[in-house]
Structure 1
Amino acid sequence: MSSSLKSARIPAYADDESDHLALLDFKNRISEDPLQIMNLWNDSAHFCNWFGVTCSPSTKRVMVLNLQAQRLSGSITPSIGNLTYLTGINLKNNSFYDEIPQEVGRLRRLQHLNLSYNSFGGNLPSNLSHCTQLRVLHVVDNKLVGHIPKQFNLLLKLVFLQLARNNLIGSIPAWIGNFSLLYVLSLYRNILKGSIPSELGRLSGLRFFSLAVNNLSGTISPPIYNISSIYHFSVAANLLHGSLPPNVGLTLPNLERFFVDLNSFIGHIPVSLSNVSRLYMLDFGENGLTGTVPQNLESFHDLVHLNFYDNSLGNRKVGDLNFLDFLANCTSLKVLALDFNQFGGVLPNSIANLSSRLRWLGLGGNIIRGGIPNGNDNLVNLTDLELHGNYLSGPLPNALGKLQQLRVLYLNNNKFSGSIPSSLGNLTKLIKLFMDENKFEGSIPLSLGNCQDLLELNLSSNNLNGTIPKQAIGLSSLSIYLVMSHNSLTGTLPFEVGNLKNLWKLDLSENRLSGEIPASLGSCTSLVSLHLEVNSFEGAIPPSLKTLRGLNEIDLSRNNLSGQIPEFFSKFLSLKHLNLSHNDLFGKVPKLSGSTNGFSVDNLIGSGSFGSVYKGVLSSNGAVIAVKVLNLQQRGGSKSFVNECNFLRSLRHRNLLMVITACSSVDHQRNDFKSLVFQFMSNGSLDQWLHPIEDEQHQCKRLSFIQRLNIAMDVAYALQYIHLHFQTPIVHCDLKPSNVLLNEDMVAHVGDYGLAKFVIDASHNPSKNQSMSDFSVALKGSIEYIPPEYGMGGQISILGDIYSYGVLLLEMFTGKRPTDDMFKEGLSIQKFTVMALPYRVMDIVDLSMPFEENEDDDETNNVDIEESAIIEEVDHHFNTRSRVVHCLISVLQIGLLCFATSPHECLPTNDVVNKMRAITDTFPEVRHASPIDENIYLGRVEDSRNW
């Protein structure tokens, strides 16, 4: 009976045994299979019925292997070359690794190969050139390196060639111009260099052309502009330059999407583009374009996205914005970005005639004067209005209250005056309201209490007076910050402040507030920062504040407070800054003190050029400490000790590693012994988190997006203190991730001042305190983090630390060391970042960084394989307005601003801090979706299903 059952199994056919064995070998190479797909590959069914396997009905040979998005991990067996009847392989969206085997070249019938969104490394297999029937090649978003094999010139039947988002090097092969059937050419986000071959101009049927985010240079040759079939043209984020041809709109009549952003194009916007009636995506952002915006924009009936962000458009004169008159015909317009140009004059009344579908209107950072026109009823769907950083003046129109879809309103850094209109209370969907740095006067309207989705409110640096309305101070939705500092507000702090249970920053400093600090403030248990300084508060510090254990900084200075300093402050483990000065308080806050015992290898937690660091315990109270024992045999060791003592004895800042004591004595062998005792940082260094060692704990060392922002802000504050707020300015000289230490709450502390220098010739003139003539520089610090001029005999300066901070920022968010192997042949971490900003920022961010993004949802699972990758790529261009991505762009741009070609161009320390603070203050809830509908473009490429 048993023998009969065995013989009843479905047999393997003799002519397909090689397929059977190849599939079993494929199965054996799978190392992770959480969905248990490979369990279905067993002898209970013929392999033609296995999951993901399709066979020819007549020959029983495997024709298609489709295991898309099955969460599989493993390498690809060379035996795949034995599946010689294969016409299609789809392993997209898995975690396959190692090299693509050369044996794929044996699949002479192969027409479709999709290995996108895996972790394949090594070179593209040159033997793939034998698959001369190949029509579709998708190997997007892997870790491929090397050149595009020259043998690929034989793949003349290719229709889709997508090798985007890899690390391919070399130049773009001119022979791609021989692929006469090519519809899609996508090589974006690689490390390709050189010019764009003019031979590509022979691809007369090309529809989709993307070479963005590479290192391409030179100008674009005229033949490229003559491919009249192109509907998607993107060369963004390269090093291309020159002028765009004036007749581009005539030679590319089918254009729908045109991206040349983030290059070095100069000259004027081609007027001929107005002839392209199908154009709906136009992006010139971050170039050097000058002149005026063409007036004849009325032909863009389908325009959805128009970006002129960060150019030099406009003449700083009246009439610069007259082109807005013609945009009234663009009834589909949803995004209009005109920020950071040279537009002058006033806002024309025609702004009220813009598309009723407009969601995003950016006019910040220009030279616009006058007021906001009345009659903006048409902008009823506007969700983001950015007018900050102009010279706008006069009162705000009550009509602003009609824009009831607004979620973000930036009016800050202007000259607005008059009272804040109560109609703003109608904007019940607001999440961010910035009105700081203006001349608003009068009282804060009670109606702001209607904005019950508000996360951030900044009314600072105005002329506001009167009392703080309980309706505003009691908005429980405020979870990021509430800032009303630098006004003339009077009266008491309302009891309703206790409603701010989720708020992390409250700043009411420099007003005229009086009375006692309400006990209800103790309910704000999420507070990290509390600033009530320079007011007239009186009475005792309320005992209820003992519940605010998460506070990092408290400033109650320059008030009329009295009584004893509460002892509970000593139990605030996160507290790094406490200022109670200029009050009538008495007593003192206990602090750690004591000595160390015992140094062994078991307690060693780090070592450097001038010494080793040990973990210890104070015998007096059991507190854990770190002891840096100087290596006095190392040349410069004693000098390093003296240096650190000189700097640390007076430094007091929440983001500087605090020294508890110093020891200069002899050890048991009567040798000189010098050590410094510091706070113990339980979470080690930033370097250990960014680049974890492969051990049993490495999976836990993943810094989230928010954690990185907070750490970056901590380091910026530390630099601000030593550069500008210490009695004599200090240059750290060795800022790098290993010298940024993290405590139990992941608060960053800058340490290691062994190379630090005083700026001894600093004056009160900010333009003069950036140099230090008395210290000529030998090569100091870690070479990858110091400015090039240090290596050429330049002088130590504060700008050197700013340079180091820029490298630190880029490393923190890309996850790449500045010495990464990929940075060669002229490519640096700076250029790597430049090439990706702004629209490809997600291509370069650290893959280990946890955060949620709505735009990561896969909305194309049911779309044919050939077009899904195209849709994903196209959508990738336009998902840049999410709050997370917008924040990343801003942070990386600040990092790039820290690399100056000359001292007068460098970003001053205060500007670094202010820019970083603006980002961290406004983007802490990065997991929320963008107010912009990022999927509005998806429908425009659905016609590709007919290709």
Structure 2
Amino acid sequence: MAPVPISVFVFVFVFIFFLLDGTIPTLGSNDHSALMSFKSGVSNDPNGALANWGSPNVCNWTGVSCDASRRRVVKLMLRDQKLSGEVSPALGNLSHLNILNLSGNLFAGRVPLELGNLFRLTLLDISSNTFVGRVPAELGNLSSLNTLDLSRNLFTGEVPPELGDLSKLQQLSLGNNLLEGKIPVELTRMSNLSYLNLGENNLSGRIPPAIFCNFSSLQYIDLSSNSLDGEIPTDCPLPNLMFLVLWANNLVGEIPRSLSNSTKLKWLLLESNYLSGELPADMFGGMRNLELLYLSFNYLKSPENNTNLEPFFASLTNCTSLKELGVAGNELAGVIPPIAGRLGPGLTQLHLEYNSIFGAIPANLSNLTNLTALNLSHNLINGSIPPAAIAGMRRLERLYLSDNMLSGEIPPSLGEVPRLGLVDLSRNRLAGGIPAAALSNLTQLRWLVLHHNHLAGVIPPGIAQCVNLQNLDLSHNMLRGKIPDDLSELSGLLYLNLSSNLLEGMIPATIGRMAMLQVLNLSSNRLSGDIPPQIGGCVALEYVNVSGNALEGGLPDAVAALPFLQVLDVSYNGLSGALPPSLGAAASLRRVNFSYNGFSGEVPGDGAFASFPADAFLGDDGLCGGDVYSFGVMILELITGKRPTDVIFHEGLTLHDWVRRHYPHDVAAVVARSWLTDAAAAAAAAAADGAAVGYDVVAELIDVGLACTQHSPPARPTMVEVCHEIALLKEDLAKHGHGGSGGDVVAAATVMAAAAPPSVAMTASERSCSTSDSSFSY
């Protein structure tokens, strides 16, 4: 054997040196180049994650890990770095890559097809980005892949059948995308799959039975929030299944009895489908690990002709790990059986709302000591609220008993549940007073909803102790007395509705301290005095309704200055004086009602007033002037079937301008269909005698409406002139005897004449000096 030349030893030495240094070009140059291409595709790196990318040794770069022997890149992990840009196809050259995790960033664009070249990849996670386009079929080439997570992106198209070639795959997550089409049966070839998430897409068709029959190792199935139909596959036991999530689909049929074999189940979420049949009474006995059971909003019934709920609740008493139970929205009948009080000690939520359950609330529900949410609303439950049951639920945070037939008084024991944050007892038959002592203890209360009952007495001052209250609705009761001054101490209140009671006295000036209040409804009471100018301190107000009281004085300028006000209703009071001109500058104001007060003076014709309908000023006989604009708006509303508040007018386009775009060359584009029909009928009836009705009437009314709504107030006619013109039109129609043809067209003149404000009613002499020609121009 010939001796080895010394040059060979030198070469090997240099090779090993560079290998250990990580700079040998023949092994690492491709990795370096690929990573630099990736970096060049990143458009924003707010955390500086790639700041050290560029040094000679790629293995020291953030997020990069290398193989110890070959110094090749085997991991690229850059999750939750807020990186944006597009992923470079050059990543497909990282031929030794085992793990690629780019989740929780802002990458966009399409996923490079070249990622399908990474045959050594075991984990690919690009979830929680904004990738678009189709899921690359080339990913089916990743024969070593164990985990594929593409969830929470914007992928479209169908699920690639090629993914079924990933024989080693254990976890597949494509949830929260825009995928459509059917679930490919080829996926069932992945015999090692234990986790499958296709939820929250647009998938349709039936669930392939093989998903239930071929995957003996499957532990997690999430197909929720799709449009899947057909029945849940039956007769295929899934002994290892722990999570079955199928809510919000179009599934039909019964709940498969074979699920009783899945004794390891923790979650069974089937709500919001079209499942039918009886509530299973023999399915859950062996599911001691069951934590969440939701069967709500289906078409399930109870046994014995939908009258007996006891077998179902009895079957759940063995589910000692049960935390949440929901069977709402099934129209279940029967009474809540006392055995319901023996449900698992860890039960935190019980949802029985939107059924037809009747009878009393069992007192032994007090045994559910860990309950945080109890919802029995929208049923037929009667009797009183059992004080002991409520007092025993010391951890209760949300109590929904609304829309039942409960009677009696509100139990003071509510005050013994210190964590209560929401109480909704509305739409019942509760009587008596609001327990003051109970409320003073509920410092965590955020929502108190008691409307539509028969509650009497005064609003308890102790309610001010509910310092975290955000929503207070005591409307539609029989509460008396004054509005407590200390309500103003509820500085975080957003919604206050005391309407339709018997409250009297003045609106407290202290109301101005509620700077966060958005909705104020004090309507239909017996309140008197002025609207306090301090209301201007409620700078967040969007809705104000004080109608149907006995308020006096003027409308404060402070109301007009509210920056976010959208709705203002002060109708049916005794308010007087001029309307604040500053209301015209209220940019957010959409709907007003000043009617049936004693307002006087001229209605401003510009700004927000230009869009207020005429019926907002009814019964205010002292108002004049600006009414001509509102009257014109009313005419155009009647003819077009549109309102100035419609969506098409939200970008500054007015009803007047919209009509002018089409009239007179395209009348049909602006006239409501019913008017066109009536106009045609009137024209046909007039053909015999040549009378100018039908389409001519519509045209004349449009002329009036456009004239009244001209942008320049001096260019508008007076209301006397408008009434004169309407009267002419009415007389002309009557003279030609067309009162019975074209109902809307012919009746319109009468309606509009009647709608004219009394302050501009014409005298007999004014009516007599009429001509047949319109004098309006615009």
Band of TM-score, shorter chain? 0.7 to 0.9
Does the residue aligned with 2:480 lie in a helix, a strand or coil? Answer: strand
2:532 is aligned to 518
Alpha-carbon contact 2:443-2:465 (below 8 Å) kept: yes
Separation in 2, partners of 1:550, 1:86: 56
Does the residue aligned with 2:284 lie in a helix, a strand or coil? Answer: helix
Following superposition, the deviation at residue 389 of structure 1 comes to 0.7
Aligned in 2, Cα 1:268/1:564: closer, same or farther, shift over 3 Å? same
Alpha-carbon contact 1:313-1:342 (below 8 Å) kept: yes
Aligned in 2, Cα 1:567/1:73: closer, same or farther, shift over 3 Å? closer
The one-letter code of the counterpart of 1:202 is N
Does the residue aligned with 2:430 lie in a helix, a strand or coil? Answer: strand
1:181 is aligned to 192
2:661 is aligned to 630
Alpha-carbon contact 1:613-1:628 (below 8 Å) kept: no
Separation in 1, partners of 2:25, 2:374: 66
The residue correspondences of 1:448-527 to structure 2 (distance < 5 A) are 448-472=463-487, 474-527=488-541
Alpha-carbon contact 2:284-2:319 (below 8 Å) kept: no
1:164 to 151, 175, 187: 175
Does the residue aligned with 1:415 lie in a helix, a strand or coil? Answer: coil
Alpha-carbon contact 1:541-1:565 (below 8 Å) kept: yes
2:267 is aligned to 257
The residue correspondences of 1:345-360 to structure 2 (distance < 5 A) are 345-354=359-368, 356-360=369-373
Following superposition, the deviation at residue 286 of structure 1 comes to 1.2
Please say if 1:445 is aligned against 2:460: yes
The residue correspondences of 1:324-335 to structure 2 (distance < 5 A) are 325-335=339-349
The residue correspondences of 1:16-415 to structure 2 (distance < 5 A) are 16-42=28-54, 44-200=55-211, 201-224=213-236, 226-246=237-257, 248-249=259-260, 251-271=261-281, 272-291=283-302, 292-293=308-309, 294-296=312-314, 297-315=316-334, 320-322=335-337, 325-354=339-368, 356-375=369-388, 376-415=390-429
Following superposition, the deviation at residue 257 of structure 1 comes to 0.6
Following superposition, the deviation at residue 675 of structure 1 comes to 9.6
Q: Structure 2 regions of 5+ residues with no counterpart?
A: 1-17, 303-307, 611-625, 629-647, 677-699, 713-742, 748-778
Aligned in 2, Cα 1:760/1:427: closer, same or farther, shift over 3 Å? farther
Aligned in 2, Cα 1:574/1:55: closer, same or farther, shift over 3 Å? closer
The residue correspondences of 1:670-689 to structure 2 (distance < 5 A) are none
Aligned in 2, Cα 1:127/1:325: closer, same or farther, shift over 3 Å? same
Separation in 2, partners of 1:616, 1:442: 49
Separation in 2, partners of 1:409, 1:38: 52
Q: CA-to-partner distance for each residue in 1:31-56, whole Å, 9 max, x for gaps?
A: 332333333211x3311211111111
Separation in 1, partners of 2:459, 2:492: 16
Aligned in 2, Cα 1:264/1:538: closer, same or farther, shift over 3 Å? same
Aligned residues: 625
The one-letter code of the counterpart of 1:295 is F
The one-letter code of the counterpart of 1:427 is L
TM-score, with normalisation over the residues of structure 2?
0.74
Comparing 486-495 with 448-457, which one deviates more in the overlay? 486-495
Aligned in 2, Cα 1:571/1:629: closer, same or farther, shift over 3 Å? closer
Aligned in 2, Cα 1:663/1:114: closer, same or farther, shift over 3 Å? same
Following superposition, the deviation at residue 386 of structure 1 comes to 0.6
Separation in 2, partners of 1:122, 1:550: 41
Alpha-carbon contact 1:662-1:677 (below 8 Å) kept: no
1:15 to 14, 17, 27: 27
Separation in 1, partners of 2:652, 2:555: 35
Separation in 1, partners of 2:553, 2:708: 40
Does the residue aligned with 1:217 lie in a helix, a strand or coil? Answer: strand
1:420 is aligned to 434
Separation in 2, partners of 1:133, 1:549: 62
Alpha-carbon contact 1:431-1:453 (below 8 Å) kept: yes
The one-letter code of the counterpart of 2:226 is N
The one-letter code of the counterpart of 2:332 is L
1:434 is aligned to 449
Alpha-carbon contact 2:464-2:490 (below 8 Å) kept: no
Higher RCO structure, 1 or 2 (CA under 8 Å, sep 6+): 1
Following superposition, the deviation at residue 553 of structure 1 comes to 3.1
Separation in 1, partners of 2:650, 2:286: 71
Alpha-carbon contact 2:521-2:545 (below 8 Å) kept: yes
Following superposition, the deviation at residue 121 of structure 1 comes to 2.4
Separation in 2, partners of 1:487, 1:295: 41
The one-letter code of the counterpart of 2:486 is Q
Alpha-carbon contact 1:88-1:111 (below 8 Å) kept: yes
Separation in 2, partners of 1:382, 1:675: 63
Separation in 1, partners of 2:34, 2:550: 82
Alpha-carbon contact 2:458-2:481 (below 8 Å) kept: yes
Following superposition, the deviation at residue 112 of structure 1 comes to 1.1
Separation in 1, partners of 2:97, 2:471: 57
Does the residue aligned with 1:433 lie in a helix, a strand or coil? Answer: strand
Does the residue aligned with 2:535 lie in a helix, a strand or coil? Answer: helix
Separation in 2, partners of 1:584, 1:270: 66
The residue correspondences of 1:578-597 to structure 2 (distance < 5 A) are 578-592=592-606
Q: CA-to-partner distance for each residue in 1:268-310, whole Å, 9 max, x for gaps?
A: 2222213211101111121111114413122122111111121
Comparing 160-169 with 171-180, which one deviates more in the overlay? 171-180
The one-letter code of the counterpart of 2:243 is H
Q: Structure 1 regions of 5+ residues with no counterpart?
A: 1-6, 596-611, 618-622, 648-660, 666-672, 681-756, 762-947
Separation in 2, partners of 1:153, 1:407: 49
Separation in 2, partners of 1:543, 1:156: 74
Does the residue aligned with 1:448 lie in a helix, a strand or coil? Answer: helix
Following superposition, the deviation at residue 646 of structure 1 comes to 8.4
Separation in 1, partners of 2:130, 2:556: 57
The one-letter code of the counterpart of 1:204 is S
Following superposition, the deviation at residue 426 of structure 1 comes to 2.0
Following superposition, the deviation at residue 616 of structure 1 comes to 9.9
The residue correspondences of 1:718-737 to structure 2 (distance < 5 A) are none
Q: CA-to-partner distance for each residue in 1:830-851, whole Å, 9 max, x for gaps?
A: xxxxxxxxxxxxxxxxxxxxxx
The one-letter code of the counterpart of 2:455 is F
Separation in 2, partners of 1:564, 1:270: 69
Aligned in 2, Cα 1:645/1:562: closer, same or farther, shift over 3 Å? farther
Coordinate RMSD, CA, aligned: 3.4
Q: CA-to-partner distance for each residue in 1:71-128, whole Å, 9 max, x for gaps?
A: 2223333322221111111111122233322222222211111111122223322232
Does the residue aligned with 1:554 lie in a helix, a strand or coil? Answer: strand
Structure (1 or 2) with the larger CA radius of gyration? 2
The residue correspondences of 1:817-896 to structure 2 (distance < 5 A) are none
Following superposition, the deviation at residue 492 of structure 1 comes to 2.6
Alpha-carbon contact 2:452-2:477 (below 8 Å) kept: yes
Alpha-carbon contact 1:624-1:679 (below 8 Å) kept: no
TM-score, with normalisation over the residues of structure 1?
0.61
Determine what percentage of the aligned residue pairs are the same residue: 32
The residue correspondences of 1:681-720 to structure 2 (distance < 5 A) are none
Separation in 2, partners of 1:96, 1:82: 19
